[in-house]
Structure 1
Amino acid sequence: MSILAKFNRLTTSKTGAVGWVRRIIWRYGLLREPLRLVVRVARLGLRSTSSLIGHLKSQWLKARHHLRLLASGDWSLGDVRLPSRLEVVFWLRERFRGQTQSHAQVYAACFGQLKPTRTPSLGLRARLSNCEPLRVLLVNDIGFQYGAGTALRRQASSLLLMGWEVMAASFAGPVAKPPSVSGIPSFAGWRGNYVIRLGDEDGSDGEPVGSIADQLRRLAPDAIILGNLHGVADPLQALEAVRACGVPLFVYMHDSYWVTGRCAAPLDCRKYLDGCDSTCPTAHEFPSLRPDRIGEAWRDKAALFAGPEPLPLIANSSWTLELAERRYQGKARTGIARLGIDHWTFAPMSKSLARWLLGVPADRPVVVMGAVDLSNHWKGGPIFRRVQETLSQRDDVHLVLFGRASEKLKAAKVFDYVDDQRMLALILNSADIFVSTAIAESFGQILMEAAACGLATVAIDVGGVRDIVVPGETGLLVKEQSAAPVLRAIDNLLYDREKCLAFGKAARRLVEERYTLKRQADAWADLFRQTAGCTKDAHN
């Protein structure tokens, strides 16, 4: 039986010819409409997978020198190194959208501006003035895991694009995957992940590792960016230990933890303004703290960020910035470094191709919903469940879900927790609309990811969502925290395709203008210069 006949017979199967062709497209980057591939197979008269593999091998041998890709894939076909899907995406966009500056061009340009070596024992100000590459250490509790960990990895990627040296240290052990962006196989400046151990623990050589400050000094960073410490037994004690190493320290707000007594999302509570105390209504929630210690923690944070020698407190959105300024009444050294995204990985692609590759039905509009963990009541609470149940029962739309605990819910397609950024981009590209029902959101990375893929968005108007979802321009915001208005907003976009497409295009433009990795790196460079007292002319 020919492959074309198998295709016609097994159009809904995940096995056989369809599954095999999907794997070929996914692994080897054949970014063409599925029908074109099938027609080509039919015209070639290939009747077996082995003959098709032989043909593909010969074609890639002929075309390999034309691709001029920065190879980073790990797949091969015999002795032939085939480009990954992501590499082909990079090459095609560079070929057909040459006006957009690629990551490789940014990287090369930054290296051209920097001196090739670092002078020993120079501080932050001297290195900036001397145009030498900085060495930046990123510190958090659990490395590159989950939402804040993904943000940390993206921060690392953006700083590496500047041509700087970057390393990460965490209290719970390193995560193997290094920072990466499309088009760059590896970063010369990446110095690896490290584990911060307690002072009474022994290192791999059996010798005491020393204090936290000693461990960080040995890494010799010029600046430290401190992220979430929710998973550490005593976050404030850990912060003081990091501060003790004597390196310029910047504390980053992934949420509202650094302005409250203990919580990461105050919601409607205003006690963080007047004084958190033992009456905290959510003391048992993560990150938990004994009620009798909450008031002390609230006062200690005021001393850290609004005392005689305040630490720089850097916000991830306009909302978190405003939160910090209200909390510390203008006494804090606040700044903002909006998160950035690899907008070459998260970019619009053919919806029909994405649906075909993922097995998502293509006969109706597709709505996608998801988060890192849908069991989190802030992300996947009652509103999410009501919207999910309603959409899954309708016959005019297909629902796609992703995130931990999504496998328990009904939908046309469910993907559970998605750690691969390319896979997440493909899932988003299969949809027409992204819907968020989060009731606590300091910024919303998933909103940024959906916008980068050119999706119109429906979200609840909370926290920092407005930074990425501009009402009436890139999506629709719902004031009321209930399912009914969310469903009405979804219908508004489903029944007005032109508006939906216009919102998606505007969302993509917004990402290209404000939320690229280069924009994020520029923001950090400005913050470093301000802290060091350098002019903008002394830049990396």
Structure 2
Amino acid sequence: MTDAASSPPAHGVAGWPFGPAAAGPGRPAALPDGRPWPRIRVVTLADPGIDAKATAASVLRQDYAELRHDLVPPGFGRARIETLLAEPGCDALLWLRPGDLLAPGALTALALEAALTGAAAVAGLRVLFADSVLELDIPGMEASDGVPFPGGAVLWMHAALHRHAVLDADGDLHASAAWSALPPAMRRRIGRPVLLQRVNEAPAARSGGLAIVSLTGTGTQGGAGVAQRRLAEALALAGHRVTGIALSDRPEAAEWTDRFPRAEAAIAAAAPDLVLAGNLHGATRSLDVVGRLARSGPTALVLHDLFPLTGRCCHPRDCTRAATGCDAACPGPDEYPQLAPGRIAGMHARKRAVLAEPAGPWLLANSDWTLARARELAPPGAVAERIQLAFPTATFRPGDRAALRRRLGLPAGDVLILISAVIIDGPDKGFSDLRAALQAVARPGVGVVAIGRLDDPARLGLPNLFAPGLIADEDTLAAWYGACDLHVTASRHETLGQTPIEAGLCGVPTLAYRTSGLTSAVIDGVSGRLVPVKPGALARALAELVDDAGARARLGAFARIALESRHSPAAAALSLDAIVRARNLLPGAARLAFAPAMLGHFPFAAERQTGATGTVPAPSRPLVRRLRRAKQMVLGRRMPLFVRRCLYLAGTLRRSVP
């Protein structure tokens, strides 16, 4: 081991397999439901010409106690391998070639996904390297270009492999044949590296990716804007040429604007193979521009909210009119995104006409709940598909909680509860329920960190409150997340919910209501806990978790593992790749591979991707906050039509002055 340690492989992973392990919570002693971790056997067929020391070291460093590594000598033969595999005490197997390396935490990530889904085989990313990282790829996406199926990137459950295994004369597994023999529903892919494989020459060049326009209403600030930007970045890492375009810089004109000549000309000049649109209601209240784009070429509409499916609103809440036809009886026409009551019925009909066109946009849903709502509310013939959102999994990662608290000036020994939203007391964030739950656990030794816009912190009525406000830098935001013990939200209206995933990636579990897209953002009993939408349920569950440090630690550890696998940029790109292939925008045999920079989205990379800045608007000046509070005291959060018209005229005059 000493010689190998002095010259580790140049695979771009800091110090691995001989360096210090990545920071973060250790693996819990049992699976989330209390079952033991599956017993894994790793099989390596020795090759006299290849040193397997680094391979063995990467297996030993897995922090996986239920593990046996068989280094099989040359000439062992298929019959003896089959006998070895039939021995009791094995739940899952993984073939690992000599010279290949298991990535940090690979077995834990693969085993957890298998346990959560019941999959018979789980595959992860492969990192191809020589003197440096060349690319990342995924099993099951290879073209006939001589690139071997990476068997070491797949964990096979023993029962399934016993039925479908195809061994050659030496006892090596024909991984491609075994994978293909499984029903698609029994195969899973996770979006994180599990295998590092040295190659003697660079793989064949990838076929050209798509030209994609990522279209937003007014840019990529705020929750939905950030989600759209992250999707675009994930697609760029998958080899696509992505151009970001915003429709307008005039949000005050959105209610009366349906045409965008400059933006539409820029889109036409980009000659995209696909327009990926999302979060448009900041620039327009219609889908007319989407209809025009869809008639010119493939267009997809990401459902960051339900605005495309209603006459006006982003979240219908308890209103049922979106299913039967929105009209002037809308209960909130003066709430954002506002629309004059007399225009709502016509706007709903126009949106449905766009979605019902034969060449209309595909709807991309970011959660199971959103997919179900899209299929319920969209007109017949509209296409709705499920995708994963992308998150910067190296930026949002567990850290040294004590060090983070010292850095941020937070109390070392308190239980710190995190609440986070762009507008904490927004109408859809369940502020009253949240405040009641937090007040129920308020006592010395329990503090609350409130990240986001909160014009009047005193409204929370909490003695131990830390309110840094809006944080526009992702690295800083991740530090605040990582310094806390528990994240809680009382929202009832989320198509997904990004803050539970960001918190979970930092090793912080979430407590939320069992409703809407939060049922996908929070894996109940794994990355947090979900409670029924009943009076007092949130407060009771919060009190239990505040008093149970062990439960918080287990949930936080599982949250990081599961959410990294499901919401990395690679996982998001994989979900979108399946859709564009199904619609014949890419050849079915084209090999999916990621740029070397994709590795930087994982904490064990030598050079990690840094977080974005400018993700939310700059904090308002004190005078603006006071005026906003005064307006809310008089008008609430509504904006009457005459005020909107005044803002529109003021904006028009301001732009007309040289």
TM norm structure 1? 0.69
Deviation at 1:264, TM superposition (A): 0.4
Tell me if 1:532 matches 2:587.
no
Write the mapping of 1:477-492 to structure 2, written as runs, cut at 5 A: 477-480=530-533, 482=535, 484-492=536-544
How many angstroms apart in 1 are the aligned matches of 2:332 and 2:230?
Answer: 31
C-alpha distance in structure 1 between counterparts of 2:406 and 2:344, whole Å: 52
The 1-side partners of 2:362 and 2:126 are apart by: 29
Which residue does 1:213 correspond to in 2? 264
Change (3 A) 1:219 1:353: same
- Find the counterpart in structure 1 of residue 453 from structure 2: 404
> How far apart, in 1, do the equivalents of 2:468 and 2:125 lie?
30
Q: Distance in 2 between matches of 1:298 and 1:480?
A: 30
Judge conservation of contact 1:379–1:437 (CA < 8 Å) in 2. Answer: yes
* Distance in 1 separating the partners of 2:581 and 2:301: 16
Judging changes above 3 Å, is the alpha-carbon distance between structure 1 residues 278 and 514 closer, same or farther for their aligned structure 2 residues? Answer: same
Among 386, 391, 394, the alignment partner of 2:443 is 394
Partner in structure 2 of residue 152 of structure 1? 228
- Cα deviation, residue 111, structure 1: 9.5
Q: Aligned ranges for residues 351-500 of structure 1 at < 5 Å? A: 351-379=401-429, 381-391=431-441, 393-405=442-454, 408-409=457-458, 410=462, 411-480=464-533, 482=535, 484-500=536-552
Distance 1:89 1:155, change over 3 A: farther
Query: Secondary structure of 2:396's partner?
Result: coil
Q: Does 1:137 align with 2:213?
A: yes
Alpha-carbon distance in 2 for matches of 1:380, 1:324 = 23
Q: 1:238 aligns with which of 289, 307, 318?
A: 289
Q: Determine if the alignment matches structure 1 residue 223 to structure 2 residue 278.
A: no
Shift, 1:406, TM fit: 6.2
Q: Helix, strand or coil: the match of 2:207?
A: coil
* CA 1:218–1:380: 2 relative to 1, 3 Å: same
Partner of 1:247: 297
Asked if the contact 1:140/1:171 (under 8 Å) is kept, the reply is: yes
Deviation digits for residues 206-260 of structure 1 (CA, Å, limit 9, x no counterpart): xxxx56433211122221101011112443233234335x231111100111111
**What is the DSSP-based 3-state SS (H/G/I as helix, E as strand, rest coil) of the residue aligned with 1:230?**
coil
Q: Which residue of 2 aligns with 1:508?
A: 560
Larger Rg: 2
**Which residue identity does 1:429 align to in structure 2?**
G
- Written as runs of structure 1 = structure 2, the 5 A alignment for 1:26-425 is 98-99=103-104, 108-109=134-135, 131-173=207-249, 212-243=263-294, 246-328=296-378, 331-379=381-429, 381-391=431-441, 393-405=442-454, 408-409=457-458, 410=462, 411-425=464-478
Structure 2: gaps (5+ residues): 1-7, 25-57, 63-102, 107-123, 144-204, 251-256, 593-658
Does the C-alpha gap of structure 1 residues 497 and 406 become closer, same or farther in structure 2, counting only changes over 3 Å?
farther
Identity of aligned residues (%): 26
Contact 2:294 2:359 in 1 (8 A): no
Structure 1 runs not aligned, ≥5 long: 1-65, 71-82, 115-128, 175-197, 202-209
Provide the rounded CA distance (Å) in 2 between the counterparts of 1:235 and 1:199: 7
1:139 shift after superposition: 0.5
- Cα distance change of structure 1 residues 103 and 468 upon mapping to structure 2, 3 Å threshold: farther
Q: Report how far residue 381 of structure 1 moved.
A: 2.3
Whole-angstrom CA distance in 2 between matches of 1:165 and 1:90: 35
Return the offset for 1:387. 3.4
Q: What one-letter code is carried by the residue in structure 2 that aligns with 1:511?
A: L
AA of the residue aligned to 1:400: V
Paired residues of 1:142 and 1:171 also in contact (CA < 8 A): yes
CA distance in 2, matches of 1:162, 1:330: 33
Cα distance, 1:474 vs structure 2: 2.3
- 8 Å CA contact 1:418–1:424 kept in 2: the answer is yes
Q: CA–CA distance in 2 between the matches of 1:111 and 1:469?
A: 28
- CA shift in 2, pair 1:102/1:334, >3 Å: closer
Distance 2:270 2:480 in 1: 39
Which structure's residues are more often helix, by fraction?
Answer: 1
**Distance change in 2, residues 1:441/1:327 (3 Å):** same
When residues 399 and 212 of structure 1 are mapped into structure 2, their CA distance, relative to the original with a 3 A threshold, is: closer
Change (3 A) 1:111 1:487: closer
| C-alpha contact (below 8 Å) 2:249/2:283 kept by paired residues | no
Structure-1 separation of matches of 2:281 and 2:378 = 21
Structure 1 residues 426 and 322, CA, compared in 2 at 3 Å: closer, same or farther? same
Contact 1:213 1:243 in 2 (8 A): no
Residue deviations 1:192-216 (CA, integer Å, cap 9, x gap): xxxxxx9999xxxxxxxx5643321
Q: Distance in 2 between matches of 1:371 and 1:378?
A: 11
Q: Name the amino acid aligned to 1:235.
A: S
Q: Give the SS at the match of 2:475.
A: helix
CA offsets 1:117-171 (integer angstroms, 9 cap, x no match): xxxxxxxxxxxx9821222110011211000111011111211211221111112
Select the structure with the greater relative contact order (CA < 8 A; seq sep ≥ 6).
2
Q: Find the counterpart in structure 1 of residue 31 from structure 2.
A: none
Q: Counterpart of 1:415 in 2: which secondary structure?
A: strand
Partner of 1:178: none
- Tell me whether 143-152 or 282-291 shows the greater mean CA deviation: 282-291
Amino acid at match of 2:248: A
CA, structure 1 residues 322+472, in 2 after alignment: closer, same or farther (shift >3 Å)?
A: same
- Following superposition, the deviation at residue 495 of structure 1 comes to 1.9
Report how far residue 332 of structure 1 moved: 1.6
- Call closer, same or farther: CA 1:459–1:104 in 2, change over 3 Å: same
User: How far did residue 494 of structure 1 move?
Assistant: 1.9
